[in-house]
Amino acid sequence: MLLANQLSKQYRTAHGDYLTVLDHVSFELAPGDTFSIVGPSGSGKTTLLGLCAGLDRASSGTIELNGVKLDDLSEDERAAVRNRYVGFVFQNFQLIPTLTALENVMVPLELRNEPNAEAIARQWLEKVGLGARLDHYPTQLSGGEQQRVCIARAFSTSPKILFADEPTGNLDAENAAGIVDLIFDLNRTAGTTLVLVTHDLDLARRTQRILKLKGGKVEELIAA
C-alpha cells in the first residue's frame, strides 16, 4: 500500500546551507495496516506524512502509494492520486474559510463528480457530531469542531489510506475517544490503511506498529 524508501528532506536556510529534517527514513505498509509516527516536536513527523501523502516532494528517496511511484509524477498527477486514494487530516485543519462546514466536506466529493455529494457530506458531519453546525463558517467553529470537519472531509471519500496529523490534538477526552473509534471503525469495516501522527501514546499503542522519529531519523520501529 505504501512503500517509503530512504526518504530524506532538506530545507535551504537563509544562510544558504542545508537543514536536514528527515534523514533516510524507510518503512512499508500493507493494505489495512495501522501505523503511528511519534517523536518530539520538530522531529519531522508532519514532513514525513506530507511526503507519504504526495503533498510534498522528497529531496531524495522514493515513495510508492498504492502501486504508483509518486516521484515520477507531475504536480497535477499527484493531486489526482491523492483525490482518488488518500484522506488527509491536517494538523492545522486547512479548511476553506469562505465555505461552510457542509461545503468544505463536499469539496473532495465534487472533485470526484460524486452525484450525492451533499447527502454524503451531511452524513459524515452528523457522524462526527456536527449535524447542527452544517452552515457555520470555519471562523464560527471552535478548534475541536474545525478538527471534526476535517475528519468528516477526510472520511467522506472512503480513502484507501488515511493520513491523520494529531487527529485528536484539539479535542476533549470524550470527543477524542469518539473520533478514535471512528478512525478504527474505518480500518475494520473498509480496510482503510491508517497512518497517524500523535503525541498520545495510548492512541499509538492501538496501531500495529509505531515509528519513533528523533531529529529526522528513525530511532526505533516497534510492534505495538
Ligand X SMILES: Nc1ncnc2c1ncn2[C@@H]1O[C@H](COP(=O)(O)OP(=O)(O)OP(=O)(O)O)[C@@H](O)[C@H]1O
For residue 167, the minimal CB distance to Mg ion (Å) is 12
Interaction partner, residue 104 (ligand X, Mg ion, none; CB < 5-8 Å by kind): none
The yes or no reply on residue 46 touching Mg ion (CB under 5 A) is: yes
Q: Determine whether 207 is exposed, middle or buried from the number of CB atoms within 10 Å of its CB (0-12, 13-18, 19+).
A: buried
Q: How many CB atoms lie within 10 A of CB 19?
A: 11
Q: H helices within 19-68, ranges in order?
A: 45-52
**Distances in whole angstroms, Cα of residue 200 to Cα of each of 40, 99, 177:** 12, 31, 12
Residue 153 contacts ligand X per CB under 6 A:
no
State the maximum Cα–Cα separation within the chain, in Å, rounded to a whole number.
52
Can you say whether the dihedral through the CA atoms of 83, 191, 219, 61 is positive or negative? negative
Residue selected from 1, 4, 7, 21 as contacting ligand X according to rule CB under 6 A: 21
Residue 46 engages ligand X in binding (rule: CB under 6 A):
yes
Going residue by residue from 72 to 111, which x/- string records binding to ligand X, judged by CB under 6 A?
A: -------------------x--------------------
Residue 35: beta bridge partners?
195, 209
Instruction: For the CB of residue 41, give the shortest distance to ligand X in the complex, in Å.
Output: 3
167 touches ligand X (CB under 6 A): no
Binding ligand X (rule: CB under 6 A), the pick from 36, 43, 100, 147 is: 43
11 is a site residue for ligand X (CB under 6 A) = yes
Window of 27-35, 42-50, 108-116, 134-142 that interacts with ligand X by CB under 6 A: 42-50
Residue with cell string 512499508: 28
